[in-house]
Chain A
């Protein structure tokens, strides 16, 4: 499969996507609502045979974003599924752990540091934070503008 075919095949999931952003020839960002992220990732991992690289959680003020970075190694392309979580009170997204065991650690990390719930994750224990770290304090969330570091 060459890169053009890879990108063409994304039309199979076009109903789940908001848009596809291309930043250069080998980097594509697939923007979607959070409820579609699992289905899209499943297509990319199982059907296109991409390798899961890592996920990034971002606090971008209006919403939380979870970016699942996938690598298509035959073509050197990075496909990033950008899931927008609009519910800022209880941010949650379906876990990819059921079909990618390699995702379990980073989902635990994002849960610790950004407070995002991964539904149906088999093992949601803390990975990064200590056991005695206070509940509900998430180090990588942005602080409100009027709150300064103590």
Chain B
């Protein structure tokens, strides 16, 4: 492929390994001095062809495949898939299964949001937040392991219900852990909201306006932090969300700070929801028997920690889907960088990209190269340093 290079516009390649989360993604930033003027994102360095694979698997095998789309969203992808199948097959899972699904999905949201808070802290030089957050996340993973047998890739939903039940003796432990977690997250939220350095560092950085959020069709905390209060859990209730008392958290500002606030407050809502669901957990079976999947098509969606997960499944009456489309929220959230990074400073790029919480893992490699000389200006370490120095500078100015 031929590439035209404008020597007056230096291009900074960021990737192909994403600087913050550990997976391949390539950002090419065009800069004017230290200001970002254009961004091009290339993905699919590690495309696994799951839509093709799903067509070769039987309906009951697909949940295990889609739970491996992402280690963190491994409850919401299978849930969206089984809801799509249950929709056209006319299957209604028992109430208890709906509650179990809700609890697993909220535990997933909590550990994902806390993980994000830790990483975000790390990238702006708040390593204490990083250590705290990951410590608080640990008991949540332990709970998931006790319920499903796995810390990630739970494999707990199936068409017609759930695979593993929540035993009664575990209920007090879940409630106690949520109580403890609430206190810690409240403390963390207060620390973030009260910190003048964080205000100065994150407010007004990487703004995604409401108009852009709508145009780019973003979802989840990325949309809610830009004043677009959408949440599939409320808008198109599934599992037990319609029967629980909770609030959709939205902020109007659209900057990195707003995204952090949305995630932290959502974590508290999730803890509240889990406690209520555990108390209300109905008695009865956790699955109905499914004998046959008829022909048809269905759209299943679930609110993953990063936004709406959407699965479209079509069946011709055989034992395999003839088409299975999976859309992870990052697929629509990542292109919005084009709106949120432009005009910003290079030292803000790492945290702006991280604020969307894009769904890939991290080999921590990033290079900023001057296109004219081919000389590496910054690598991952130095960009991280740049981001932290800015925080430090603000801190000194303020204190």
Contacts and interface: CB of A to CB of B under 8 A. Distances in A.
B331 A127 contact: no
Where chain A touches its partner, the secondary structure class is: mixed
Interface residues of B, number: 38
Interface residues of A, number: 36
A14 to B, nearest CB: 22
Nearest to A72: B235
B327 A54 contact: yes
Interface in B257-297: 296-297
A58 B335 contact: no
A121 B390 CA distance: 39
Contact of A76 (B42, B44, B236, B312): B236
A52 B217 contact: yes
B331 A100 contact: no
Interface of B: 1, 42-44, 47, 49, 51-52, 87-88, 214-219, 230, 232, 235-237, 296-299, 301, 308, 310, 312, 314, 322-323, 325, 327, 331-332, 335, 338
Where chain B touches its partner, the secondary structure class is: mixed
Given A23-B297, A73-B235, A140-B52, A101 B325 contact: no
Contact of A56 (B43, B218, B323, B332): B323
A95 B49 CA distance: 24
30 contacts: A23-B87, A23-B88, A23-B297, A51-B214, A51-B217, A52-B217, A53-B217, A53-B301, A54-B327, A56-B323, A56-B325, A67-B312, A71-B236, A73-B230, A73-B235, A74-B235, A75-B235, A76-B232, A76-B236, A101-B215, A102-B215, A102-B216, A103-B217, A105-B332, A105-B335, A106-B331, A127-B43, A139-B52, A140-B51, A140-B52
A74 B228 CA distance: 11
B331 A105 contact: yes
Question: Which 4 A-B pairs have CB atoms at the shortest separation, nearest pair first?
Answer: A102-B217, A76-B236, A56-B325, A54-B327
